[in-house]
Chains A and B, each alone.
Chain A
Amino acid sequence: MGQVILGVGDYGASNNPTDDVKTFALGSCVSVILLDPKTKTVGMAHVALPDSSINKAKAAEKPGYFADTAIPALLAEMTKYGCHKKGKGMVVKLCGGANVMDTNDTFQIGKRNALAIKKILWAHGMGAIAEDLGENFSRTVTISVGAGQVTLSSPGRPNWQL
């Protein structure tokens, strides 16, 4: 069984049914999960910030880092697996985007990430069928490519499915 581990700002995909696609400890970051039932491909991006205009050089080097560059990059990556280039037929799931307690507007990066991602998905005619966003805990995500099952975990809590 292989593991595709994605760090902050990474994106990737797999169609190997024995693989897990995994990302650790999403704080305010959001994981965008694209499941393509037709090709049995799983793609994920670990998005850290909502908007790439703040640092174009970083966006060029790591498009997965920003919501606006991550989704096009992930869709393009998934075409290598025979997926539709505009994500037609894909199932979208979102998780992460936590905020610390009593946060003020400035520190609501988790919320801004989630909003930016949803906006871009809409622009692509896509929308999430399941989401586990916000609140105040960190999430680790594991997707089994074969079963297309998304499992979330957080220290001190039992695991749950998305």
Chain B
Amino acid sequence: MKTISHDELKKIVKSSPMLSVSASRLLQLTSDPDHDLMDVVNLVKTDANLTARVLKLVNSAAFGLINEITSIDRAISYLGERFIVSIALGDCVGKVFEKKLVGYEAAAGDLWKHDLRTAIAAREVVVQGEMEISPDLAFTAGLLHDIGKALISDYLKDSAPEAIELITSHDSVDYLDAEEKLIGFDHTQAGFELAKAWQLPEKLAEVIRYHHSPAEASEAFRPLVYAVHLGDNIAMMGGFGTGSDSMRYRLDANYTDYITLTPNTLASIMLTVDSEFDKLEQSVASTGEDKG
């Protein structure tokens, strides 16, 4: 299998879709712990397309509102930040999320579903694990965490059996290691390059880079990275991986330094993920029919 050089990876990143101005500003804003919902409202108002999307979503059948919501302020406070971020990302880089991951033998849409499950689970880990970080930020970070898979999937083409062989023969400790052996990069390194090109806030870039090795993240961001690490594992356990790599990663049990989870809390998180996913998937999909 041919490895990707660093220059090639840079080229792949360059040819990827870029974030829209409003999506980029939205990610900056919502990563700042001092922002409030009014800031989000003001930002969305500067983008007519995004405003229209948000209003369309809130009035879609998925929410079953009796009275139409016509004000963007009300729509955003009704939906909450995470829906707005999902729509904004879907609008400009939806293609990346919808990509069929041939290298992982996954179908088109599997990555988006996995990301959405991870996002919901990470948010629930924060809420039910009684963490002191923003649940909405954990959601956004969950959405973005595996973005690197879309970049390297084509290069991993037909390699899934080989990757699995590397793991079962203990030549690789996990799928990440197998990716690196096969093409010279793993999906967290590739995703980190894209995060730089997208000028993502540092904490989101670190989630992308360290979601399988949270202990390596900067101390300040570690709780967030651990929340997404657990969210990712919960998504895979629930049957929503991205194909051949599902469950073939290591759990860092030191999450207990940051997160308190009993088996019952974990079960309750898994239940919430199932029910929230159905709602969110329906509603976000319902705005995405002309997704570019």
A residues apposed to B, CB below 8 Å: 8-9, 24-29, 48-51, 54-55, 58, 98-107, 109-110, 112, 136-138, 154-157
Contact = CB atoms under 8 A, between A and B. Distances in A.
Contacts of B253: 102-104
B174 interface: yes
A28 B174 contact: no
B249 A100 contact: yes
A114 to B, nearest CB: 13
B247 A55 contact: no
B280 to A, nearest CB: 16
B241 A138 contact: yes
B266 A106 contact: yes
Interface of B: 104-106, 160-161, 163-164, 174, 233, 236-241, 243-244, 246-253, 256, 261-264, 266-268, 270-271, 274
A54 B271 contact: yes
Contacts, number: 108
A25 B239 contact: yes
B248 A101 contact: yes
B267 A107 contact: no
B246 A106 contact: no
26 contacts: A8-B238, A9-B274, A24-B239, A25-B239, A25-B241, A27-B236, A27-B239, A27-B246, A27-B247, A55-B268, A100-B249, A101-B174, A101-B249, A102-B250, A102-B251, A102-B252, A103-B253, A104-B251, A109-B237, A109-B267, A137-B248, A138-B247, A155-B105, A156-B163, A156-B164, A157-B164
A9 B267 CA distance: 14
B266 A109 contact: yes
Contacts of B256: 104
A101 B251 contact: yes
A141 to B, nearest CB: 11
Given A100-B233, A138-B246, A106 B261 contact: yes
A98 to B, nearest CB: 5
B263 A29 contact: no
A156 to B, nearest CB: 3
B241 A27 contact: yes
